[in-house]
């Protein structure tokens, strides 16, 4: 029987967590380095929303059919293993922004329509939507990894990785067949192997609020989202900024969020918490998945604002690539940048 691959994974945000889970399912030997106290974790700030529809024209998101079929089996199976409820399918309503927009959309209804849409007089209900409690999921997976893998809660020091050849590595006196980096936007700043990839990090802020005014039965999506999380609490978000990548909340984002609250018709609400993260987005809006040509050093990153729906699908692809050399979707494979990897 071939021996199980020994894998060193750096980062346990949402992406690293889901990949780690899939690697263990595939009987790989896993070691994780993660350092949330030194490098903050974008996933903790995430709304956790999944939604197969995007944009003004209510288009299906990229690979919607494949991704959304999978997440409705993936997260429930993860819940069973972890014994935690983190997956919350919930209807999502997109009200027409105004009469002009309503007329514009209704005139084009026959061209726009697809099975995820349910049209009404006031707006459109979207099917296969909901949210994942990302912070709870990561916490539960951290406990699982402590039982099933080797975990080091400390920063990975890139200079200390020793490469013997293309598929033999040593780090802190342990030997590995593969090294996979999943450090979120921090990769762009620190990772000598991948920082030259075309990242486009986007800082995001959202607020947790308490309100008696909004419905707790469904998510509203109107130039932002209002997401009920129970006990009259809601996540309201999110902002985008491409300038400052600190974890400090900004005055402008707060103003932006308060305007969004107004747009959702909220007059009285209590701000419970402000959450800040930096999305590991990419210039071509596709993730970064795969290995440096000819070398077992890889990346699982670039999930932008859609980690919840993208990560399960591409974790499975990466594991298939490791175990059976199955080709990675060329749109996400880092081989699309092969000119950047001099061999």
Ligand X SMILES: Cc1cc2nc3c(=O)[nH]c(=O)nc-3n(C[C@H](O)[C@H](O)[C@H](O)COP(=O)(O)OP(=O)(O)OC[C@H]3O[C@@H](n4cnc5c(N)ncnc54)[C@H](O)[C@@H]3O)c2cc1C
Cα angle: 139, vertex 142, 148; to 5 degrees: 150
What residues contact residue 34 under an 8 Å CB cut-off, 6+ apart? 10, 11, 12, 16, 142, 151, 152, 153
The verdict on 313 binding ligand X (CB under 6 A) reads no
CB of 185 to ligand X, least distance (A): 6
The residue (of 180 and 266) whose beta carbon lies closer to ligand X is 180
- What CA–CA distance (Å, rounded) separates 68 from 61? 10
CB of 164 to ligand X, least distance (A): 22
Please, are residues 240 and 203 in contact by the beta-carbon 8 Å criterion? Answer: yes
Binding mask 15-34 for ligand X (x = CB under 6 A): xx----------------xx
Among 23, 86, 266, 308, binds ligand X (CB under 6 A): 308
Among 234, 307, 313, 334, binds ligand X (CB under 6 A): 307
The residue (of 120 and 252) whose beta carbon lies closer to ligand X is 252
Among 96, 145, 194, 303, binds ligand X (CB under 6 A): 303
Cα angle: 179, vertex 167, 152; to 5 degrees: 30
CB of 111 to ligand X, least distance (A): 28
The verdict on 171 binding ligand X (CB under 6 A) reads no
The verdict on 182 binding ligand X (CB under 6 A) reads yes
Judged by CB under 6 A, the stretch of 1-9, 62-70, 88-96, 201-209 that binds ligand X is 201-209
- How many alpha carbons fall within 13 Å on the CB side of residue 52? 23
SS3 content of the chain, % helix, strand, coil (to 5): 30, 30, 40
- What CA–CA distance (Å, rounded) separates 85 from 78? 9
Binding mask 213-252 for ligand X (x = CB under 6 A): ------------------------xx--------------
**What would the two tokens of residue 273 be?**
């918490």
The verdict on 277 binding ligand X (CB under 6 A) reads yes
Q: Which helix (H) or strand (E) holds 80?
A: helix 64-82
**What would the two tokens of residue 184 be?**
């979120």
Binding mask 127-166 for ligand X (x = CB under 6 A): ----------------------------xx----------
Beta strands in 122-176 (DSSP E): 123-126, 130-132, 150-152, 162-165, 168-171, 174-176
Contact residues for ligand X, defined by CB under 6 A: 10-16, 33-36, 39, 41-43, 45-49, 155-156, 182-184, 186, 190, 204-206, 237-238, 277, 279-280, 301, 303-309
């Amino acid at each position: 029987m071939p021996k199980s691959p020994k894998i060193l994974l750096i980062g346990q945000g949402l992406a690293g967590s889901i990949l780690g889970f899939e690697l263990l399912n595939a009987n790989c030997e896993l070691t994780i380095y993660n350092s949330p106290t030194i490098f903050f974790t974008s996933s903790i700030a995430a709304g956790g929303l999944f939604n197969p529809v995007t944009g003004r024209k209510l288009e299906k998101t990229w690979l919607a059919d494949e991704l959304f079929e999978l997440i409705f089996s993936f997260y429930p199976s993860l819940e069973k293993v972890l014994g935690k409820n983190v997956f919350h399918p919930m209807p999502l309503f997109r009200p027409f922004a105004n009469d002009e927009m309503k007329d514009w959309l209704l005139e084009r209804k026959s061209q726009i329509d697809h099975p995820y849409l349910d049209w009404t007089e006031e707006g459109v209900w979207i099917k296969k939507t909901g949210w994942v409690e990302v912070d709870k999921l990561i916490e539960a997976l951290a406990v699982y990894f402590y039982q099933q893998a080797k975990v080091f809660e400390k920063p990975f020091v890139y200079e200390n990785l020793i490469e013997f050849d293309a598929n033999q590595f040593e780090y802190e006196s342990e030997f590995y067949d593969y090294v996979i980096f999943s450090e979120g936007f921090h990769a762009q700043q620190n990772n000598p192997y991948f920082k030259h990839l075309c990242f486009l990090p986007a800082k995001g802020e959202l607020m947790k609020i308490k309100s008696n005014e909004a419905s707790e039965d469904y998510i509203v999506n109107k130039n932002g989202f209002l997401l009920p999380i129970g006990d009259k609490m809601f996540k309201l978000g999110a902002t985008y900024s491409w300038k400052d990548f600190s974890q400090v909340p900004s005055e402008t984002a707060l103003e932006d969020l308060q305007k969004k609250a107004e747009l959702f018709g909220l007059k009285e609400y209590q701000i419970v918490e402000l959450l800040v993260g930096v999305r590991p987005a990419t210039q071509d809006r596709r993730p970064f998945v795969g290995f440096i040509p000819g070398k077992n050093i890889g990346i699982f990153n670039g999930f932008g604002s859609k980690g919840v729906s993208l990560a399960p699908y591409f974790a499975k692809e990466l594991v298939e690539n490791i175990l059976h050399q199955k080709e990675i979707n060329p749109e996400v494979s880092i081989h699309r940048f092969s000119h950047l990897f001099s061999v």
